[in-house]
Amino acid sequence: MPGALAAIADPAVRAAYREWLLRIADDELVIGHRHSEWTGFGPDIESDVAMSSIAQEELGHGRAWYEQIAADDGGDADRLAFGRAPDEYRHAALLEQENGGWEYSMIRLMLYEAFEIGRLRLVAASGHEPVAGLAQTLSREERYHGLFADTWLTRLAGAAPGGPERIQAALDRAWPDALGLFESTAADEVLQRAGVLQSSPSAEREAWVATVRPVLERYGLAVPSGAGAREGGRRGVHTAAFEPLLAQLTEVWKSDPEARW
């Protein structure tokens, strides 16, 4: 069944929207894999199970987006997810970084989920089905992910000794990469001119900062000042952390690309 891209007559707009949807799929795939690395290593059994569930949901969300793209390409969702070269992935640098401590994973989860809710709102407002409906459905699960992060960050901020200091250090590390979530490419300009996207990356970034700042302040944290965005991911330029992650992520698929998993 054709997806949303088939309804777009202009080839340039269709290509731009494909790239934009691919960002979503790649973001979800990569962060889902990083979350899955906590399985068996969480701070308690309840959080271990919850984080494993979040990982599974993110990977499922990624697959749903790949299936939408593959429906228009006439391709295979698994090959799209696992069969590309590293520089063909369009996820942001934040999502590929190694987990480090639990506080870093929780800060990253909070920052990413606030971003993802805004992005899904844009997809829902695009009017292109079935992805608009998919965005509305997935946003409900993403909100639960954000609530999990909020619960843990509130707990960590009240912990003694050194809880707030550890979270602040994690925030300082994550912030430049988080700003890179809003990296703009020519695709954004094309989609804005065509009316597919109702907002720009810079406007979305301002709205995101306005959303996360009071939450961070509630934890006793300060938004890092003077930190520039780490960009490149939306153009396929990734950090040293990505290639080992991709090798691990694609190992099973590459053992038999024609198999049905």
| pLDDT tens figures, 95-122 | 999 998 999 999 999 999 999 999 999 9
| pLDDT tens figures, 137-148 | 998 888 899 999
Q: With a cut of 80, say whether residue 4 has pLDDT above it.
A: no
pLDDT at 255: 84
Confidence of residue 62 (pLDDT cuts 50, 70, 90): very high
| pLDDT tens figures, 117-127 | 999 999 999 88
Which residue, 84, 109, 85, 103, is CA-closest to 34?
Answer: 109
CATH 1.20.1260.10 applies to domain 12-255: yes
Q: How far apart are the C-alpha atoms of 193 and 215, rounded to whole Å? A: 33
Listed in sequence order, the residues at least 6 apart from 98 whose beta carbon sits closer than 8 Å to its beta carbon are: 34, 241
Is residue 222 within 8 A of residue 216, CB to CB? The reply is: yes
pLDDT at 261: 52
Q: How far apart are the C-alpha atoms of 60 and 134, rounded to whole Å? A: 12
* Average pLDDT over every residue of 231-241: 95
